[in-house]
């Protein structure tokens, strides 16, 4: 089964992440399938705008850690030691470019976020041109705490220096309402009106000629690219590999194998585990 589906709906191309049983967790196949769907919509003269969404209860819960962390031994996320940084970079840079197909497409992309857009899922959502969230949805890059660096690094370009640091130095999740107030996404709306809000914006854009849409998007994107976007992403992608193969990253993987990735992730996100010494952090006496 395809992990991404594509539907043509008049002037709108609908790209849907399609692993609802695992909250659309990113598989090895998904990034390339996103790029393929974007290419199909971009090459279709009838399509004016794309809408990106997720099937089921969430937009995307990040990389599938059942495959990338909990699996014993070497896997797509962790090599045997000594590891080859360029082998890791080749894999993750390809994924980054697939996600960035949303940004680089000539036609605008609106991302609709419900449930969660976390970890690698936030990379996908923030590559879209306009992101609209349900107020109660959650977004964040929790692997910044251990075992990850967002390879697209759209946080800094959307938020600026201080707010990007606030998010990446804590690995916190925030609500759609907080994300809109911070300027990370275009807007947040009640969950029950999310569909109508996205459809209204898509319909409005779909009434504009394709060449006009392409030119306006190209000019805005050029300003971001001139700020060194490609260089930032290369460094972030190298650092992402280092985080997963650092002593702390290897301890996180070992912990995932021992207790399951759900518990390891909970310990990471709640700050109850010392990944350097590989021990639980003692609780205070009072």
Contact call for residues 139 and 176 (beta carbons, < 8 A):
yes
Q: Long-range contacts for 222-226 (Cβ within 8 Å, ≥24 apart)?
A: 224/157
What band does 3 get if pLDDT is binned at 50, 70 and 90? very high
Query: Residue 186 gets which letter from DSSP?
Result: S
Q: E strand or H helix at 139, and its extent?
A: strand 138-140
Q: E strand or H helix at 198, and its extent?
A: helix 194-206
pLDDT in tens, 238-251: 999 999 999 999 99
What band does 70 get if pLDDT is binned at 50, 70 and 90? low
Average pLDDT value for residue range 152-180: 98
Total-model pTM: 0.95
Mean pLDDT over each residue of the chain, to the nearest integer: 95
Structural domains in the chain, CATH included, are 4-280 (3.90.226.10)
Average pLDDT value for residue range 45-68: 94
């Amino acid at each position: 089964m395809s992990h991404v589906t594509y539907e043509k709906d008049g002037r709108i191309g609908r790209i849907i992440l399609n692993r609802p049983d695992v909250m659309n967790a990113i598989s090895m196949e998904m990034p390339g399938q996103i790029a393929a769907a974007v290419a199909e919509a971009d090459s279709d003269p009838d399509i004016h705008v794309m809408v990106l969404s997720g099937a089921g209860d969430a937009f995307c819960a990040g990389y599938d850690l059942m495959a990338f962390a909990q699996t014993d031994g070497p896997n797509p996320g962790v090599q045997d030691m000594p590891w080859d940084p360029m082998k890791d970079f080749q894999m993750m840079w390809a994924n980054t470019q697939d996600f960035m197909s949303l940004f680089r497409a000539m036609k605008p992309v609106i991302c609709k976020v419900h449930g969660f857009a976390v970890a690698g899922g936030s990379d996908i959502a923030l590559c879209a041109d306009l992101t609209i969230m349900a107020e109660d949805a959650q977004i964040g890059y929790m692997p910044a705490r251990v075992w990850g660096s967002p390879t697209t690094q759209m946080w800094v370009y959307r938020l600026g220096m201080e707010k990007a640091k606030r998010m990446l130095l804590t690995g916190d999740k925030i609500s759609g309402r907080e994300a809109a107030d911070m300027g990370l996404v275009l807007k947040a709306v009640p969950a029950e009106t999310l569909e109508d809000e996205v459809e209204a914006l898509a319909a409005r854009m779909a009434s504009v000629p394709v060449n006009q849409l392409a030119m306006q998007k190209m000019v805005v994107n050029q300003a971001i690219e001139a700020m060194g976007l490609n260089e930032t992403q290369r460094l972030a992608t190298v650092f992402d590999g280092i985080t997963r193969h650092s002593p702390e990253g290897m301890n996180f993987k070992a912990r995932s194998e021992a207790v399951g990735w759900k518990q390891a992730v909970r310990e990471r996100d709640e700050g109850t585990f010392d990944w350097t010494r590989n021990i639980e952090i003692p609780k205070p006496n009072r």
